[in-house]
Amino acid sequence: MKYKQFFLILKQLADILLKKKITPAEKNEQFIKNISRNGIKDCFTGDDTLSIRGKQEFIKADINKEAYSIIKKGMENQEILFNFIESKGAIIVKSRYMDKILRFFGEKEGFITPISGYRALFFILIINMFCSVKLNIGLKTPALFALKDEPVNIYTFSHQFHLWFSYINNLPGFEEKTMQNFKNFWEAEPDALNMSYLSVDEVISLKDIISRELEAINFVKEMARELVGQKNSLKMLRDGKSINL
């Protein structure tokens, strides 16, 4: 995983935001720009930036707590995870050819946010050809999980599950244009990153989706550390060794 790519992109976004947050004319008028989305309010003036995200912090804490509980139950029985996802209205499509299908559309296995237009229509037609679960024909896909028809790697899937959980809890960053921008910059070489043409709203939205990705990665790391630690402690107890509590 190009983990450092997140921070390279974030640094460029921060630099762009400082340069583009308001125009010289707006600065002369003591202009204040407010951008509100899903529990966050960003305020920009000529010299300062204030971000208020109190509500979002509570939502993220709840997401981590509930996601951990569900994934832990699904460790032994993955159907628990799939049933929960479907109970929230998300669709799961599986195919032995899913990796090849997704590669053709520039997507990767896991959670896929809605896409629209003729690309969506073509995606739906291909999915319906190779999957037992059929999507409604149209110019927009639902939020869905696209998986190979085999047991999932629980840690890889947990990352995607956390992203989806953030999406259904209306955390910002999952807009179609934002996702496309993110994929473009994620695939680009560090020296080829050019974000100078982005608007303030696009810059902030990109920062949002990167935050969601980092939150999902950190969630999986903490979950793995705790679960592996529990396994090691149980093994030590079975072997008659002492553990620190």
21-79: pLDDT as tens digits: 544 444 444 334 445 555 555 555 545 454 555 678 889 999 999 999 999 999 889 99
Residue 10 and residue 207: Cα distance in Å, rounded?
A: 7
Residue 148 and residue 146: Cα distance in Å, rounded?
A: 7
- 2-16, 36-50, 93-107, 142-156, range with the lowest pLDDT: 36-50
For the chain, the structural domain boundaries read 54-238
Q: Considering only residues 78 and 1, tell me which one the structure prediction assigns the higher pLDDT.
A: 78
- Tokens for 204? 């902030």
- Tokens for 62? 């709840």
- Helix H segments across 150-199? 154-168, 176-187
Residue 40 and residue 241: Cα distance in Å, rounded?
A: 49
The listed range with the strongest mean pLDDT (57-61, 132-136, 204-208) is 132-136
DSSP H helix total and E strand total for the chain: 9, 6
Q: Closest Cα partner for 156 from 65, 87, 71?
A: 71
- 5-9, 122-126, 168-172, range with the lowest pLDDT: 5-9
Q: What is the pLDDT of residue 237?
A: 38
**Distance of CA 160 to CAs 67, 108, 124, 147, 239, Å?**
11, 10, 21, 11, 36
The DSSP line for 84-146 is HHHHTT-EEEEETTHHHHHHHTT--SEEE---BSHHHHHHHHHHHHH-SSPPPPSSBPPSEEE
pTM score: 0.80
